[in-house]
Structure 1
Amino acid sequence: MQLAKVLGQVVATVKEPGLDRFTLLLLQETGEPDPDQVGGPAFVAVDLVGAGEGEIVLVACGSAARVAAGADAPTDRAVVGIADSVVRGGTVTYRKS
């Protein structure tokens, strides 16, 4: 799994029927050591938990994402959790406000 920040939504009125029940989110990987910092290319993931813009989320990739989303949904990444806090080396580096 990886941490990412929700940048927004992707709206696609025409898509694979297995994706109809999901919201698609635009995400970007978080930086180290501050999860509020983002970097790298943006990517799309299906939202399984109702995440909102600006939140730090847990993203499952590959077969784990497909299992979480259900066998009928073709996806490489799925949002499977919303982070309340991130602790690194005993120090809180992120806390949801």
Structure 2
Amino acid sequence: MIIGKVIGNVWATRKEDALNGLKLMVVQREDACSRSSHESFVAVDCVGAGTDERVLVVTGSSARKALGNPDAPVDAAIVGIIDEVKIRPES
């Protein structure tokens, strides 16, 4: 799973039929320890996430499974909204 922050939305009036009705969000990957930002990517929102929320993202076949459509042309899906991350301090 990937931790990321939702930084925007994608609107596409013309798209593959399997994507109709799906909410597409721009997610920026975060490092869980340093909270530094990395590349951004588009993910289908399965849980109603909003801009500026930290989220859990799955990729590959897990993303299609989260949608319940193994044939959907999707490779990333938001499957959780993060309330808190606790990391044990380094010794």
Q: Deviations over 1:11-41 (max 9, x none)?
A: 1010111111210000110124244x422x2
Amino-acid identity (%):
45
TM-score, normalised with respect to structure 2: 0.88
Deviation, 1:3, is 0.3
Q: Which has the higher strand share?
A: 1
> 1:27 maps to which residue?
27
SS of the residue 1:67 aligns to: helix
> 2:70 maps to which residue?
71
Deviation, 1:71, is 2.2
The code of the aligned residue for 1:57 comes to V
Task: Give the alignment's Cα RMSD to 1 decimal.
Answer: 1.4
Structure 2: state its 5+ residue gaps: none
The code of the aligned residue for 2:13 comes to T
In the aligned structure 2, how far is the partner of 1:50 from the partner of 1:30?
20
In the aligned structure 1, how far is the partner of 2:20 from the partner of 2:79?
18
- Greater CA drift, 69-78 or 42-51: 69-78
Give aligned pairs, total: 88
- Equivalent pair of 2:54/2:82 in contact (CA under 8 Å): yes
